[in-house]
Chain A
């Protein structure tokens, strides 16, 4: 599988200049390179302006599978899409999936991605048995497992600790290609504050393996739709995904992307689900986990100027009060947002010291073509998140300040110390800017 763009991040919106190299063709570059999978990070995490991108998407072979232990060996450029499609007919599935299956295993580890089952399963890094790491300062690649000192800076290491070669990940057995899904509404005029409704439904859904909500951040009351699901069997036709039928062929014009259209879109989405509320249905596994994968290049729908995604998490105790406060702040500041996602994380620890999830509630908002005013509002939101001990997600970020990043991730110096001296990214230079000015830069 080939990335949509070799240069731009998923959120698009700006141009960068790179040298390109391909992992596996030659020895590692000797200076200023960044390993890259399919470039699905939203911001400059998958960009290395002025340096080299070491593309890993061609190293995508599946190597072996152990039917007893469930451990799959593959090259780190293998996509979750290929793994899911090959393993589903054998009754196995990925232990954790993000909202798109078009990411590589290496990318999933480097960002320690989470999914709708975080409250029971934790993040992707918890299912990595071992991996081979190649570094520019080591003559031979080293096999590392969770007890190796480099493991904690490779999981959630943002690609900085070296190039991952082969990886062993633990899959899980599932009964078949179906998902038993329930949809519930929360908020709306009749039932008090949306966030209370959401938290109640979430607390009520402990026996469900997968939970997630969609929340209308432009609505004062924070109305939304709550989805919960669990694996079940289904017909054989569901074993393979339907091929994507829709393609966004051109960039959407800017005028369709203002806050009024966001309002209209959100209202329509809510009404659509209101008509089929409280129902229980059995659907194929693919649209449940990857609804947007049905549209090729959906990021182009946000126009040439692109979009950013803002995802934060706040600790459990602060959630009821802080989430509505931050969303009200963004609404009043006029920040347009489509399809915000809300999810409650559990307390399963991650092996990575820079992992994003923590026990608490996370919200992710898409913001088209943010202007200066939007950015100031987001800076203020960062401070509100930091004040209660929360974090903003680097994989989605394109704008947080170095000071804020270092508050969110106080152990970042350990990653800096473990970083391959020849690896860097635009993101890392941005969020560690002050140390780079002080110390010698590589």
Chain B
């Protein structure tokens, strides 16, 4: 359904077209998704931290067929920035894709770093999802998609801070979906597994479990088109996480992963 909204954007003028809003537009998955939307002729509003990087993503989107692509640079955790942007946008689809893979060892020693990471990965993501859901409602309905993670399904010793923030985001989106269910706004929670992207560039050994940002982005658009609630990407992670969630804590706490 939302796929139809994105494609109808082509037939209306840029000024009145319902937008696809992307927060964290320079992330690898977001860039891949933006290319797919651009090929459908969407009107894009791209939000990120770095103006120069956003300009490049926007230029690329226009070259690849976007009806238009505006850029909005700012601190993604800044409430004033979130409020002012969400007050003026009229999204048909909103993707919340920003995040940072927390270094657990650093988070253990630095309280400031832990606070920053939790704020970015959970608090700011939840704020964006909430504000954008209301913006969708005002615009007459739409879809909010949040990129959570399989890491949010259970806290692991190797990434407890990242996992906790994503667990929070997953729970928040589940509740937001229920709140918005009768108000014309659908909320999709996407839980990718390992993605081969700049965020994970430091991990050199990548096996069969790793997916490309392009594959994840295709899954994201499919989940929107089919109005799914929660999707694991790729799908086999649903099975892996089902098993991981059922390992007794007595054993789980001794596992090194």
Contacts and interface: CB of A to CB of B under 8 A. Distances in A.
Contact of B201 (A22, A64, A75): A22
Nearest to A22: B201
B59 A62 contact: yes
Contacts, number: 32
A86 interface: yes
A25 interface: yes
A25 B201 CA distance: 10
A75 B56 contact: yes
Contacts of B188: none
Nearest to A2: B212
B55 to A, nearest CB: 9
B198 A25 contact: yes
Given A20-B201, A20-B204, A61 B212 contact: no
A20 B60 CA distance: 26
Contacts of A64: 59, 63
Contacts of A75: 56
Interface string A43-71: 00000000000000010011111000000
Contact of B64 (A2, A22, A25, A62): A62
A61 B28 CA distance: 12
A2 B198 contact: no
A61 B198 CA distance: 15
A50 to B, nearest CB: 15
Contacts of A63: 56, 59-60, 63
A65 B198 contact: no
Given A2-B196, A86-B63, A86-B64, A61 B201 contact: no
A65 B214 CA distance: 24
B197 to A, nearest CB: 8
Interface string A292-321: 000000000000000000000000000000
Contacts of B64: 62, 86
Interface residues of B, number: 14
A61 B57 contact: yes
A75 B59 CA distance: 11
Interface string B166-209: 00000000000000000000000000000010100100100000
A1 B196 CA distance: 12
Interface in A65-92: 65, 75, 86
Interface string A3-42: 0000000000000000011100100000000000000000
B48 to A, nearest CB: 14
Contacts of B204: 20
A64 B59 CA distance: 7
Interface in B5-57: 28, 56-57
B107 to A, nearest CB: 21
A161 to B, nearest CB: 24
Contact of B198 (A1, A58, A62): A58
A61 B196 contact: no
Contacts of A1: 214
A21 B214 CA distance: 20
B28 A58 contact: yes
B198 A22 contact: yes
A62 B63 contact: yes
B101 to A, nearest CB: 13
B62 to A, nearest CB: 9
Contacts of A86: 63-65
A62 B60 contact: yes
B36 to A, nearest CB: 13
A86 B66 CA distance: 12
Nearest to B65: A86
Nearest to B202: A20
A21 B204 CA distance: 10
Contacts of A58: 28, 198
A21 B105 CA distance: 22
Interface in B58-84: 59-60, 63-65
Contact of B59 (A21, A25, A61): A61
Nearest to A7: B204
Interface string B191-235: 000001010010010000000101000000000000000000000
Nearest to B28: A58
A32 to B, nearest CB: 17
A73 to B, nearest CB: 8
A393 B204 CA distance: 31
Contacts of B196: 2
B217 to A, nearest CB: 13
A37 to B, nearest CB: 16
A63 B55 CA distance: 9
Nearest to B38: A86
A64 B28 CA distance: 21
Contact of B60 (A21, A22, A61): A61
Contacts of B59: 61-64
A61 to B, nearest CB: 4
B34 to A, nearest CB: 10
Contacts of B65: 86
Contacts of A20: 201, 204
B203 to A, nearest CB: 10
A244 to B, nearest CB: 14
Nearest to A65: B63
Contacts of B63: 62-65, 86
13 contacts: A1-B214, A22-B198, A25-B198, A25-B201, A58-B28, A61-B56, A61-B57, A62-B59, A62-B60, A63-B63, A65-B63, A75-B56, A86-B63
Given A20-B204, A63-B60, 6 more contacts: A2-B214, A58-B198, A61-B59, A62-B60, A62-B63, A63-B59
Interchain residue pairs A-B with the least CB separation, the first 5 = A61-B60, A62-B63, A63-B59, A61-B56, A22-B201
Interface of B: 28, 56-57, 59-60, 63-65, 196, 198, 201, 204, 212, 214
